Amino acid sequence: MTDCSRRCCRWENRGLVPYLEAWAYQRSLVEARLEAPALEDVLVLVEHPPVYTLGTGASLEFLKFDPAQSDFEVHRIDRGGEVTYHCPGQIVGYPILNLHYYQKDLHWYLRQLEEVILRTLAGYGLRGERVEGLTGVWVEGYKVAAIGIKVKRWITLHGFALNVCPDLSGFSCIVPCGIVDKPVGSLAQFLPNIELKSVRRDLARSFAEVFQIELVLAENG
């Protein structure tokens, strides 16, 4: 259960943000909370210009191009997981949570993030599914949400990416998440008129329900 003194979480909608800028912002939020653990939790929702990211131990064999000889933006970062792709039309969520006030259990945290996606999809009449042994959410065999996290002294960074209505062609240049036999999809495949704004709002609502908190929209959100 969430600590009663930690019921509020700041919710920021920051729009289209370059990847390195968002990564630096996350790190600044984490460092501030390492120095002052009583600071409120934060949920940051963004989109990114096209970019490929690889987790700490991700294999370059899952790139179908040579990063040294291409114009693609590629970054190796400090999350778990393999290579993934971000682009406009995909909602990326960065929860900065102090798990001391929730559960100090990474498997629990990953399952909670999946539950946020599952509840959001259910609100649109879509049946999301987990796949045993893998992390993420699928609809009718298509992976629509990827999750990759890092925890520093039990404060979280990185998070989830939900494909709402992106151009999926960028995924053709990689083996997404290192999974060779499961295609990537988007919500727009099943709901052509789906809107980012409504999904962003519903994701935040589901996040609040799952983590049993109250989200307070930041002034810049």
The CATH number that applies at residue 180 is: 3.30.930.10
Query: CA–CA separation, 83 vs 89, rounded Å?
Result: 18
Burial status of residue 189 (CB atoms within 10 A of its CB: 0-12, 13-18, 19 or more): middle
Per-residue pLDDT of the chain (221 residues; tens, 9 = 90+): 444 456 789 999 999 999 999 999 999 999 999 999 999 999 999 999 999 999 999 999 999 999 888 899 999 999 998 999 999 999 999 999 999 999 999 999 999 999 999 999 999 999 999 999 999 999 999 999 999 999 999 999 999 999 999 999 999 999 988 888 889 999 999 999 999 999 999 999 999 999 999 999 987 66
pLDDT in the model for residue 30: 98
Strands 83-86 and 51-54: antiparallel
The catalytic position among 9, 87, 165, 177 is: 177
pLDDT at 85: 97
- Does the predicted model carry a pTM greater than 0.85? yes
Annotation says 177 is catalytic: yes
What's the half-sphere exposure (Cβ side, CA atoms, 13 Å) at 82? 16
Number of domains in the chain: 1
Of 213, 201, 205, 207, which is closest to residue 116 (Cα–Cα)?
A: 207
Identity of residue 95: P
Q: What's residue 3's pLDDT?
A: 46
Q: Which domain holds residue 58?
A: 4-217
- C-alpha distances out from residue 21 to 46, 55, 80, 190, Å: 11, 17, 19, 32
